[in-house]
Amino acid sequence: MPTPVFLPVGSQATVKTVTPDELKDIGFKMILANTYHLYLRPGIDIIKKLGGLHRFMSWDGAMLTDSGGFQVFSLARLSRVNDDGVTFRSHIDGSEHLITPELCIRLQEEMGADVIMVLDQCPPVQDSIEKVSEATGRTHRWAERCLKAHTRADQHLFGIVQGGFSAELRHASARYLTSLDFPGYAIGGLSLGETKSLTYNMIDETVPLLPADKPRYLMGVGAPDDILNSVSRGIDIFDSVLPTRVARNGGFFTRAGRQNIRNSMWKEIEQPVDPDCSCYTCRNFSAAYVHHLFRCEELLAYRLMTLHKLTFIQDLLKNIRQSILDDTFASFRDGFLSGYRATDEQLRISQKQKWLNTWNRTED
């Protein structure tokens, strides 16, 4: 798997609005699915009976399954956590469930993903340092139990560094997890509504303590400027619902920054949404046409914009990889960021908080 790599998110065994063949045509070699969603619907037994997750969704590339810990704490109507595991009520039908580290591993083993994740406790941004410390310690104990429960040699089990926004806790978490010798390490608990400078600071505090010869995965990050700044700090793997979710709301990326096709300025534009893009949408349709589809709420609108957004991200990662091989990454990064207008920080934080506070939401 060439890195840096971005994983499109298909929480419910599908990347919304696009087919597996389209993902492969764009160039993606790895995707993400979510244990929480698939455990609740259709059920892991059904996926196992039908040949595993790859066969179930007709994806023959690499696959990572998230443990579902974040979703348990953010989506479930009610959750109670102790050292045994987390008890929660389904956001779908209110049924009660208990997920332990051992069960989390068994479910992911039965689905058959190539990379699976430990069960961790991701504390909310507003939690006190005492609660964050308690959650970090529990994450460590759960990680050890996950490692002991893991039996499939054909799957890589990654540990997840937690610690909130405390450099001391991040250091302790990275040191503890690396002592367990996982084949890869994720950095969790970031991009939850904090400032970007704080996100980058926590990456800076964590990455130097992770093995340089093992993949480092920053969970939940997918904006172009964040990808470039995180690659600079040693991150290899990214995932986020941002590209596909924003696309379905009319947002799209260009080298100049994020735009929105719903704005009236696009209604007479004959050129594609991004003249520099070679995606199916930009090769075949005008911005005026895509604007029209969104204004009419036609389903094709969401497909066309998602294809563009995913192509933009994949092209960015391809260029990043080539610049690293050419030893020109720093100049590529600086050149891209000099022309890219990032979303206003306060607007971004308020939008993120609104999303986090939305009750009974679903993910990609």
pLDDT at 343: 80
Q: Which domains does the chain have, with CATH numbers?
A: 5-241+348-357 (3.20.20.105), 247-330 (no CATH)
- Taking alpha carbons only, the member of 258, 260, 251, 244 closest to residue 363 is 244
Q: What pLDDT is attached to residue 75? A: 73
**Please, which residues bridge with residue 78 across strands?**
89
Q: Catalytic: 66?
A: yes
Return the DSSP state at 343. P
Give me the residues of the chain with pLDDT under 50, please. 359-362
* Best CA proximity match to 16, nearest among 29, 31, 4, 27: 31
User: According to the model, what pLDDT value does residue 355 have?
Assistant: 54
pLDDT for the residue 38: 97
Instruction: Reply yes or no: is the peptide bond before residue 42 cis, omega within 30 of 0.
Output: yes
pLDDT of residue 329: 98
Indicate the helix (H) or strand (E) that contains 283: helix 280-284
pLDDT digits (tens, 9 = 90+) for 133-185: 999 999 999 999 999 999 999 999 999 999 999 999 999 999 999 999 999 99
Q: Which of 120, 226, 236, 239 is catalytic?
A: 239
239 is catalytic: yes
pLDDT of 356 reads: 57
Residue 251: per-residue pLDDT: 96
Instruction: Spot the catalytic one: 66, 120, 226, 236.
Output: 66
How, if at all, do strands 85-89 and 115-117 pair? unpaired
Tell me what pLDDT residue 360 has: 41
